[in-house]
Amino acid sequence: MIEQVPASIFLVDADFDAFAVAHRLGGGYAVNETEAEEGKEEFLDTFEWGLYWSGLALARRGRRYRLYAADGTVLGEGKGPGKKRPFRWDFADGPIRDGITAGADIRALCPKLQVSRVRRSFQLLNEDQKTVLRLWLDHAVVSGDNRGPVEQWQLHLAGIRGYDREYQAVRRLLGEDGLERLADGTHFLAPALTRAGITVESVGSKTVVVLERDISLRDGLRQVGLAVLGDIQRNLPGAIEDIDTEFLHDLRISLRRTRSLLTLFGKAFPEIPCSHFRSEFRWITQATNKVRDSDVYLLKEDEYRGMLPPSLHPGLAGFVRGMRAFRGREFRAMKKHLNSPRLARLLKDWRHFLENPPQPADAAAQDLRCRDFAAKAVRKRFKKVLLEGENLGPDSPDPMLHALRIEAKKLRYPLEFFHSLFPPEDVDLLVKHLKRLQNNLGDYNDLSVQQQMLGTFRSPVRVDDPRQALAIAAALGGLVTRLADRQRQVRGEFEATFADFAGDANRELVRRITRTAGDGQVAAGQDGER
């Protein structure tokens, strides 16, 4: 491996003179201006700023795209898709498509900011007229977020392999002038974004809530509920607009989390009525089921194709076409629900409930501390997982595995909701181990569901051509066989995965987590119970 070429960015004034650099270096150096380009660039990124966090930026002018590294160097450019929100797979094979793979796997690239930019490019030449350093002076005007346009001048230095002496000398020179240098590794868009008031958050589907240590149970649940409601509202417009599959996926995660929170709420304050919310959130979750199921099959298209011999690929293509048509129909139905006054009212009422929760009549319930409740919930649910899992043998029926999967989920929710009340390293480790178990159970369940659906050997929409129907049936038959093999393998891995999870190390972790959270009082009782 060769060393990376160094680069740095300085914030400079409007009157910065690039030519003066050569004079100040002396020794036969000269600065040559190579080109100046001017234009409006639209920067695209995923909803969660996946490219930004991967140290990239993707800009376009019309259909000409340019991929930048975090230091502003151009990694690739070329003609790209004309869509408003393209996906990675809409780009032709090449440096842009390869480059964005890490930051934009299955998410759409959405317009994030408009930058009017004048870029002047310079070269520092040595006495042989060889370029030994590249410099760009960027004047960028960023359309801000309610703050009006923001202007900025940046000087980029890009070293050239083998000419580190010149790079260091110029960097030193600019440092001596008192120019502000962005910390190495800072994204070149960062200062402009900050000044324009655009927040770059990588929130994912789960906002992490930091609760005060002694917060009451009522307030704790309230704050978690509001954060999850925020996740719902953030993902809802993207799901309605069908920007990419992950908006709906994340929306569903937030809906499930809300329902789990309602269960906890009901347990903590049984006298406060919230069954209406429970049934309404069940309704809206169910309204999204079919679209998500279709997305799962469509996202697996490449994987499925890899499982089948080429002779069965036309049948698979027929199935995928049918699935797309089915999804289109289901999406229209779902969209009506997502746009409905009923959902708007539900979210409004739920927010009102969370902001003004009724006081529990019982004085003891009013004094309940969130961390005691959290510790108890984790302990109880961990015990339940162990119990369900220990009852499972190699021949246990699928519903028993399904029951364990649900219990594992129930344990995951309080660990995430009340994350801030537990010792962070311990809880992260437990979640990591729990995820491994959940992945095994989840894979097993997904494979069951897929086999059931594909095992109908039919396209999800009607196919009149009998030859086409036969080709689809043959492809699905091939898939079911392969999925059944895979499922047996996953089932074979269950015993060891569960044994790892149920080991002494995790029992000790849970003891530590719950003891710290509950100040040891509840934990002592728990030890006696076991």
Partner 1 sequence: MKTVAIYSSKGGVGKTATAVNLAYAASVSGQRTLLCDMDSQGAASYYFRIKAKKRFNSEKLLDGDIARNIRGTDFVHLDLLPAHFSFRNLDLALNELSRKKRRQALARLFAPLAEDYDILILDCPPNLTLLSENIIEAADILVSPVIPTTLSLIALQQLLKLFSKLEADKDKIIAFFSMVERRKSMHLAIMDKYSRYSLFLKTSIPFQAEIEKMGILRQPVGATARQSPAARQYEKLWQEVMQRSERA
Q: By CB under 8 A, name the one of 55, 81, 95, 357 that touches partner 1.
A: 95
Q: Is 194 in the site for partner 1 (CB under 8 A)?
A: no
Beta strands 64-69 and 56-61, pairing class:
antiparallel
Could you say whether residue 505 binds partner 1 (CB under 8 A)? no
Stretch that binds partner 1, among 2-10, 45-53, 146-154, 281-289 (CB under 8 A): 2-10
Report how far Cα 386 is from the mean position of its chain's Cα atoms. 30
Q: Could you say which of 54, 114, 131, 468 contacts partner 1 (CB under 8 A)? A: 131
* Binding status of residue 165 toward partner 1 by CB under 8 A: no
Q: Which stretch binds partner 1 (CB under 8 A): 124-132, 251-259, 282-290, 456-464?
A: 124-132
Alpha-carbon separation of residue 372 from 214, 264, 519, 522 (angstroms): 9, 13, 8, 7
Residue closer to partner 1 by CB (options 11, 30) is 30
CA atoms within 13 A on the CB side of 379: 25
94 part of the interface to partner 1, by CB under 8 A: yes
CB–CB of 430/415 below 8 Å? yes
Q: Minimum Å distance from CB 332 to partner 1? A: 42
Question: Which residue lies nearer to partner 1 by CB, 129 or 452?
Answer: 129
CA 253, chain centre distance (Å): 12
From the CB of 2, what's the least distance to partner 1, in Å?
Answer: 4
In the list 101, 129, 168, 263, the residue contacting partner 1 (rule: CB under 8 A) is: 129
The answer to whether residue 162 forms part of the interface with partner 1 (CB under 8 A) is yes
Choose the binding region for partner 1 from 11-19, 122-130, 187-195, 382-390 (rule: CB under 8 A).
Answer: 122-130
Pick 135 or 215: Cβ nearer partner 1: 135
Residue 6 or 144 having the CB closest to partner 1:
6
By CB under 8 A, residue 130 contacts partner 1: yes
How many residues make contact with partner 1 (CB under 8 A)? 17
| From candidates 15, 128, 464, 504, binder to partner 1 by CB under 8 A | 128
With beta carbons less than 8 A apart as the criterion, state whether 334 and 288 touch.
Answer: yes
Find the shortest distance in angstroms from Cβ 69 to partner 1. 12
Longest dimension (CA), the chain: 87
What does 249-276 look like in DSSP terms, one character per residue? HHHHHHHHHHHHHHHHHHHH-TTS--HH
Distance separating alpha carbons of residues 403 and 389, to the nearest angstrom: 9
Burial class of residue 336 (count of CB atoms within 10 Å of its CB; 0-12, 13-18, 19+):
exposed
Is residue 6 within the footprint of partner 1 (CB under 8 A)?
no
| Contact flag: residue 5 with partner 1 (CB under 8 A) | yes
DSSP-H helix ranges across 339-369:
341-355, 363-367
Backbone angles phi, psi at 146, to 5 degrees: 65, 10
> Applying CB under 8 A, does 457 fall inside the site for partner 1?
no
Using CB under 8 A as the binding rule, whether residue 93 contacts partner 1 is answered as no
Is 1 one of the binding residues for partner 1 (CB under 8 A)?
yes
Query: How far apart, in Å, are the Cα atoms of 450 and each of 254, 297, 304, 402, 457?
Result: 24, 8, 11, 15, 11
Between 121 and 445, CB nearer to partner 1: 121
Cβ within 8 Å of residue 464, ≥6 positions away: none
Q: How many residues does the chain have?
A: 530
Question: How far, rounded to the nearest angstrom, does the alpha carbon of residue 107 sit from its chain's CA centroid?
Answer: 9
Among 61, 63, 161, 352, which residue interacts with partner 1 (rule: CB under 8 A)?
Answer: 161
User: Binding to partner 1 by residue 299, rule CB under 8 A?
Assistant: no
The Cβ of residue 33 has, within 10 Å, a number of other Cβ atoms equal to 13
Is residue 69 part of the contact set for partner 1 (CB under 8 A)? no
Distances 340 to 172, 246, 287, 334, 336 between C-alpha atoms, Å: 61, 21, 12, 10, 6
- The nearer residue to partner 1, 69 or 173, going by C-beta atoms, is 69
Residue 299: both structure tokens together: 């996202």
Looking at beta carbons only, is 165 or 282 nearer to partner 1? 165
Q: Which is nearer to partner 1, 92 or 449 (CB)?
A: 92
Q: Does 30 bind partner 1 (CB under 8 A)?
A: no
Q: Which of 20, 36, 74, 333 binds partner 1 (CB under 8 A)?
A: 74
Q: Which residues bind partner 1 (CB under 8 A)?
A: 1-3, 5, 74, 76, 94-95, 123, 128-131, 160-163
